[in-house]
């Protein structure tokens, strides 16, 4: 009798391979990279990891990214918030391996390799990137924050714009010359690039509106003060550029006061050097500190709360965790801390994204990060800006034109570049500000003033 045997191997193939990890050629679980923060640095890391086999999660407490260098133009009605911001999901939507989570991080469990968030389950990681940026430093006077907002968020920019524009409307109705002056006095605290840009923009806005739109106001009612505790404004720039900026601001009618430290801020006044200045608008730009991310790791931050990092951007002592941008304390080739600038964060993000690709996919160790200085810049006003490239410098119209080109190029996408360029050209030709909108609900503003009365 002939007998035949048939071995069904399909059932064996369906059985789980308990020893798969022992085979180096077998497919492995995708590596998980979690990025906290979707600013310049965080977005650069995510994009460099996009469309790879790496599983990327981006966590941010806001649903949008923001081009902060132009936020002062939102505050002074030159641009709208949508011109300089974009939903994070749109920015990263074309990368199928990237997931976006809207949540606020409350801590990190390095032992369990998880990120803790304010709602939902902890998010696991194999590599963690901290790109949480910075916030304004009120030097122990956090009660000033509500009265003197800074320029870090769209909410703050809209709050400043609301107060500025409403002050003009109230001054138009006032019969008291002293009240008019107080309403039309703006005090900017801090003589860095943000303070200088805000002072110049407010001066141009006020002069235009008084000349064209407000019949009962005159230039003598209008005053813009820029206060700096140090001996000169724009201390990070060479003195010849600082001198040019000071002269340009004076030409716009801005009063620059150096060596003056603020003693008190109330809803209706600022006290500086024993002098009380009545004002309806106070804007803070006196310094920044790192986000409080250092406490998630039990680390004592240095130089404004920044997290010490190694040359490859790893947090010292935590080989699976990286930090970059304003929240990280990285050193340049001269041994000095890298500045808290957008170009630093973006270069670090691009470097780290490619480095993680090499490490996770190819097992290669990347070379240390090197910062390439593309120049430092600040705009003072129409046709006036400064550029410091180290070996050579620019000021005036050419610097202003280069500043505009660089900032348009750095915007998040082509659509934003076109929108901002068209608006800038129109504004240059007509001097009109297209975003002069006041929130009809002025309760918060009035309540603040009444509390300080």
> What is the domain partition of the chain in residue ranges?
29-137+289-362, 140-286
Question: Is CATH 3.50.50.100 what the domain over 140-286 is classified as, yes or no?
Answer: yes
Which candidate, 103, 106, 32, 110, places its Cα nearest to that of 297? 110
Instruction: Note the pLDDT of residue 22.
Output: 41
Residue 114's beta-bridge partner residues? 109, 124
Please tell me the distance from the alpha carbon of residue 348 to that of residue 172, in angstroms, as a whole number: 49
Instruction: Note the pLDDT of residue 413.
Output: 81
Please tell me the distance from the alpha carbon of residue 268 to that of residue 144, in angstroms, as a whole number: 12
Pairing state between β 55-60 and 98-102: parallel
Q: How many CB atoms lie within 10 A of CB 213?
A: 11
Instruction: Note the pLDDT of residue 437.
Output: 77
CATH classification code of 29-137+289-362: 3.50.50.60
Please tell me the distance from the alpha carbon of residue 347 to that of residue 373, in angstroms, as a whole number: 10
pTM score, whole prediction: 0.87
Angle in degrees, 0-180, between the axes of helices 342-357 and 40-49, rounded to the nearest 10? 20
Please tell me the distance from the alpha carbon of residue 395 to that of residue 91, in angstroms, as a whole number: 34
Please tell me the distance from the alpha carbon of residue 76 to that of residue 205, in angstroms, as a whole number: 7
Please tell me the distance from the alpha carbon of residue 160 to that of residue 76, in angstroms, as a whole number: 8
Instruction: Note the pLDDT of residue 137.
Output: 93
Which candidate, 62, 39, 266, 68, places its Cα nearest to that of 150? 68
Equal CATH topology for 29-137+289-362 and 140-286 = yes
| Mean pLDDT, contiguous 10-residue spans, the chain (453 residues) | 38 36 54 97 97 97 94 93 94 96 97 95 97 94 95 94 94 94 97 96 93 90 96 96 97 96 95 95 93 93 91 95 96 91 95 96 92 93 94 94 91 85 86 76 47 43
Please tell me the distance from the alpha carbon of residue 150 to that of residue 154, in angstroms, as a whole number: 10
Instruction: Note the pLDDT of residue 441.
Output: 64
Which candidate, 379, 305, 296, places its Cα nearest to that of 340? 305
**H/E run at residue 178:** helix 177-183
What tokens does 123 get?
């998010």
Instruction: Note the pLDDT of residue 409.
Output: 87
Active centre residues (catalytic) = 197
Q: Is 139 helix (H, G, I), strand (E, B) or coil?
A: coil
Give me the helices (H) in 20-66, please: 40-49
Burial string for 116-135 (b: 16+ CB within 10 Å, else e) reads: bbeeeeebebbbbbbbbbbb
Please tell me the distance from the alpha carbon of residue 134 to that of residue 301, in angstroms, as a whole number: 13
């Amino acid at each position: 009798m002939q007998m035949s045997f048939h071995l069904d191997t399909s059932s064996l193939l369906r059985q789980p391979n308990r020893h798969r990890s022992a085979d180096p050629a077998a497919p492995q679980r995708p590596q998980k990279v979690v990025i906290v923060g979707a600013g310049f640095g965080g977005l650069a890391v995510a994009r460099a990891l996009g469309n790879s086999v790496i599983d990327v999660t981006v966590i941010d407490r806001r649903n949008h990214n923001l081009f902060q260098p132009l936020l002062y133009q939102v505050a002074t009605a030159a641009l709208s918030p949508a011109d300089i911001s974009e939903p994070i999901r749109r920015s990263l939507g074309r990368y199928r391996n990237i997931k976006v989570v809207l949540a606020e991080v409350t801590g990190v469990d390095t032992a369990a390799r998880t990120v803790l968030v304010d709602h939902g389950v902890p998010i696991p990681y194999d590599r963690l990137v901290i790109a949480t940026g910075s916030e304004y430093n009120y030097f122990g006077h956090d009660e000033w924050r509500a009265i003197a907002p800074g320029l870090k968020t769209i909410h703050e920019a809209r709050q400043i714009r609301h107060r500025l524009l409403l002050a003009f409307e109230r001054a138009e109705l006032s019969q008291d010359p002293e009240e008019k002056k107080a309403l039309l006095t703006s005090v900017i605290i801090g003589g860095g690039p943000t303070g200088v840009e805000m002072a110049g923009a407010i001066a141009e806005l006020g002069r235009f509106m008084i000349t064209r739109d407000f019949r009962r106001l005159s230039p003598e009612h209008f005053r813009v003060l820029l206060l700096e505790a140090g001996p000169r404004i724009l201390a990070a720039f060479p003195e010849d550029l600082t001198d040019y900026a000071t002269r340009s601001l004076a030409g716009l009618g801005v009063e620059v006061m150096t060596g003056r430290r603020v003693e008190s801020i109330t809803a209706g006044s600022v006290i500086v050097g024993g002098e009380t200045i009545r004002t309806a608008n106070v804007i803070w730009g006196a310094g920044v500190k790192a986000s409080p991310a250092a406490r998630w790791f039990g680390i004592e931050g240095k130089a404004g709360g920044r997290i010490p990092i190694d040359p490859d951007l790893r947090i010292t002592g935590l080989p699976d965790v990286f930090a970059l941008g304003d929240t990280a304390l990285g050193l340049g080739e001269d041994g000095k801390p890298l500045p808290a600038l957008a170009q630093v964060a973006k270069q670090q993000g691009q470097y780290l994204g490619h480095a993680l690709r090499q490490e996770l996919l190819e097992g290669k160790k990347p070379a240390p990060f090197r910062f390439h200085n593309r120049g430092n810049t600040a705009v003072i006003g129409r046709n006036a800006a400064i550029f410091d490239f180290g070996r050579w410098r620019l000021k005036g119209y050419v610097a202003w034109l280069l500043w505009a080109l660089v900032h348009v190029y750095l915007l998040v996408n082509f659509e934003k570049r076109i929108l901002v360029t068209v608006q800038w050209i129109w504004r240059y030709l007509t001097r009109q500000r297209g975003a002069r909108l006041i929130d009809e609900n002025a309760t918060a503003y009035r309540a603040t003033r009444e509390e300080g009365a």
